[in-house]
């Protein structure tokens, strides 16, 4: 096809041009099966991570509940002792915890957490609390909080 260009302005010539073809939209679907497999693996990993997080959160719900009760205990040594006992009963088998008292109880608390130590006046205050009206010192409440947060829960099959 020949076009007579004589006597035509540049604007007329530009109007005669055909527009460039519009490219087809790029597909978002992977073109190879490898990307599909990778997407499935990533989806599985995300689902597994969410499941592990929710399971961990559910497993440690008793700790959060105990910490809330501890915050509301008004430094009452008897309440702190009761909260520690109930927390231990949830985390460990009843046959191991329920009968413990005196030095055996404080030894159990010391053995089940690496970074707390119920010794001297604090352990005496904890042991005598159920039998007298005693206000706990701030160190007993902090010690109880640390034990609740850090005790090693017994593994269950």
Cβ-based burial of 144 (10 A; exposed 0-12, middle 13-18, buried ≥19): buried
**C-alpha span between 43 and 51 (Å, rounded):** 12
How do the domains of the chain map onto residue ranges?
58-150
Rg (CA), the chain: 35
CA 81 from centre of chain: 27
Closest CA to 146 of 112, 96, 100, 104: 112
What's the pTM?
0.68
**Tokens standing for 53?**
């997080």
pLDDT in tens, the chain (157 residues): 555 667 788 888 888 888 888 999 888 877 788 888 999 999 999 999 999 999 999 989 999 999 999 988 887 888 888 898 999 999 888 888 888 888 888 888 888 887 777 776 666 777 777 777 767 777 788 888 888 888 887 655 4
């Amino acid at each position: 096809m020949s076009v007579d260009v004589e006597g035509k302005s540049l604007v007329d010539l530009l109007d005669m041009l055909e527009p460039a073809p519009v490219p087809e939209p790029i597909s978002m679907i992977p073109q190879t099966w490898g990307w599909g497999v990778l997407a499935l693996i990533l989806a599985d990993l995300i689902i597994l991570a969410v499941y592990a997080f929710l399971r961990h959160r559910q497993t440690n719900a008793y700790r959060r509940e105990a910490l809330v009760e501890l915050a509301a205990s008004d430094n009452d040594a008897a309440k702190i002792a009761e909260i520690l006992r109930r927390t231990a009963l949830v985390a460990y088998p009843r046959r191991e915890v329920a009968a413990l008292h005196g030095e055996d109880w404080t030894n159990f608390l010391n053995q089940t957490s690496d970074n707390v130590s119920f010794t001297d006046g604090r352990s005496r205050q904890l042991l005598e609390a159920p039998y007298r009206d005693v206000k706990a010192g701030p160190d007993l409440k902090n010690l109880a909080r640390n034990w609740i947060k850090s005790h090693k829960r017994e593994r269950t099959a």
